[in-house]
């Protein structure tokens, strides 16, 4: 049980997540070439696994007459209940863990480094009139995401390598990670 929930009083109510032990077996999905069939297979595996593995916990929650919401993608149930219910659920073999629900802080973006140009903008930047946009709208591109499908980028350049949002596709499969 989560540390946040251990100090809960007997009559106090809390919001928490119940993580079910059973996970969908999605190994076969990687062998399905057709995208629609693969997506359908994954959806059916996730929903059927969740329905089957959550049934016992859901019956306990229904009997306790508490608020809850099931999530099939992660096989988790959000619950609003008391310490007794948490203790009951924590003893079940089908429950992997229980965690307190709460607000999670967002990861703060890294501020852009101040760069002092020595010779003005490069010709391509000047050609598209970027300096005018910078001055008129007071924007420099902070927070944008840049995509590239060309082979002309040094993917392991020190300025880029730690900031990718997706994994490098070294087999040209069109696969996006993360």
Instruction: Please give the average per-residue pLDDT across 97-104, as a whole number.
Output: 86
Tell which wins on pLDDT, 153 or 16: 16
Range of the domain at 13: 3-100
Structure token pair of residue 15: 């919001």
Q: Read off the pLDDT of residues 144-174 as tens digits, 9 standing for 90 and up.
A: 877 776 667 777 788 777 777 766 565 555 5
Element containing residue 88 per DSSP (H, E): helix 83-90
Q: Quick check: is 125 in a domain? A: no
Query: Which of the residue ranges 4-13, 43-52, 54-63 would you say has the lowest mean pLDDT?
Result: 4-13
> What CATH number is attached to the domain comprising 21?
3.30.70
CB atoms under 10 Å from CB of 1, counted, come to 17
Handedness of CA 57, 58, 64, 67 (dihedral sign): positive
Distance in angstroms (rounded) separating the CA atoms of residues 81 and 51: 21
Q: Is residue 54 part of a domain?
A: yes
Report how many domains make up the chain. 1
What's the pLDDT score for residue 1? Answer: 55
Q: Which of 17-21, 45-49, 85-89, 106-110 has the lowest mean pLDDT?
A: 106-110
Instruction: Check residue 178 and give its pLDDT.
Output: 39
94 in a structural domain: yes
Torsion, CA 112, CA 115, CA 119, CA 124, rounded to 10: -10
Residue 19, both tokens: 């993580």
Answer yes or no: is 178 within a domain: no
Evaluate whether residue 14 is within a structural domain: yes
Q: Mean pLDDT in the chain?
A: 84
31 pLDDT band (50/70/90 cuts)? very high
43 within domain boundaries: yes
Residue 53 lies in a domain: yes
Residues 6+ apart with CB under 8 A from 28: 41
| CA 136 vs CA 112, 124, 130, 140: distances in Å | 20, 19, 10, 11
Instruction: Give domain status of residue 21, yes or no.
Output: yes
């Amino acid at each position: 049980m989560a540390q946040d929930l251990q100090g809960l009083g007997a009559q106090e109510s809390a919001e928490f997540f119940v993580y079910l032990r059973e996970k969908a077996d999605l190994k076969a999905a990687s062998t399905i070439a057709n995208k629609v069939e693969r997506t359908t297979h994954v959806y059916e595996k996730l929903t059927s696994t969740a329905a089957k593995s959550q049934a016992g916990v859901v019956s306990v929650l229904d009997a306790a007459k508490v608020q809850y919401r099931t999530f099939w993608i992660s096989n988790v149930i959000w619950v609003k209940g008391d310490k007794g219910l948490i203790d009951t659920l924590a003893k079940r073999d089908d429950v992997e863990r229980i965690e307190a629900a709460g607000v999670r802080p967002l990861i703060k973006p890294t501020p852009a480094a101040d760069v002092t140009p020595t010779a003005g903008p490069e010709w391509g930047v000047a050609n598209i009139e970027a300096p005018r946009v910078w001055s008129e709208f007071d924007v420099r591109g902070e927070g944008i995401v840049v995509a590239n499908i060309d082979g002309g980028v040094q993917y392991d350049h020190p300025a880029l390598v730690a900031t990718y949002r997706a994994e490098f596709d070294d087999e040209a499969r069109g696969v996006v990670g993360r």
